[in-house]
Amino acid sequence: MNFPFSKTAGRQNVTRELSDDVLQTAEQAVESTRDLAHDAIRRADNKARDLRASLDPAIDHLAQKAQDLAQRSKGLAMDTSARAQRRLTQYADVTSKYVAEQPVKSVLIAAAAGAVIAALLVSHGSHREP
C-alpha cells in the first residue's frame, strides 16, 4: 500500500536537500565574491603605493627646483638693491659737490623747481573746482 504521506515526505526531503544545496552554493558565491573584492582592493592599494612611491622623487625634485629659484631670486634682488644704493650714494655725492661748488646757482635751480611745482599744483587745483 502506498500512503500519500510517504510521497509528500519524500518530496519534502528532496526539496529540503535542494534548498540546502542552493543555500550552500549561494554562500560559496558570496564567499568567492568577497575574496575577489578583497583581492581587487589589495591590488588597488599596491598600485596606489607604487604610484605614490614613483611620485615622491618627482615632487622632491620640483620642490628643490622651486627652492633654488627662490634663492637665485633673493640673490638677484639683493644685488639690484646694492647697485641701486651705490648709484643713489653716487648721485647724492655729485649733488652735494655741485651745491658746494655752485651755491647760488643751486639755490636758484631749487627755487625755480619749487615755483614750477607750485604752479602745477595751483593749476591742477583750479581745474578741479566747479
Give the three cell numbers for residue 97: 659737490
Pair 98, 106: CB distance under 8 Å: yes
Give the three cell numbers for residue 60: 622632491
Pair 89, 82: CB distance under 8 Å: no
pTM of the predicted model as reported, rounded to 2 decimal places = 0.43
The CA-based angle 124-127-130, given to 5 degrees, is 140
| Sequential pLDDT tens for the chain (130 residues) | 455 556 777 778 888 888 888 889 999 999 999 999 999 999 999 999 888 888 888 888 999 999 999 999 999 999 999 999 999 999 999 999 999 999 999 999 999 999 999 999 998 877 665 5
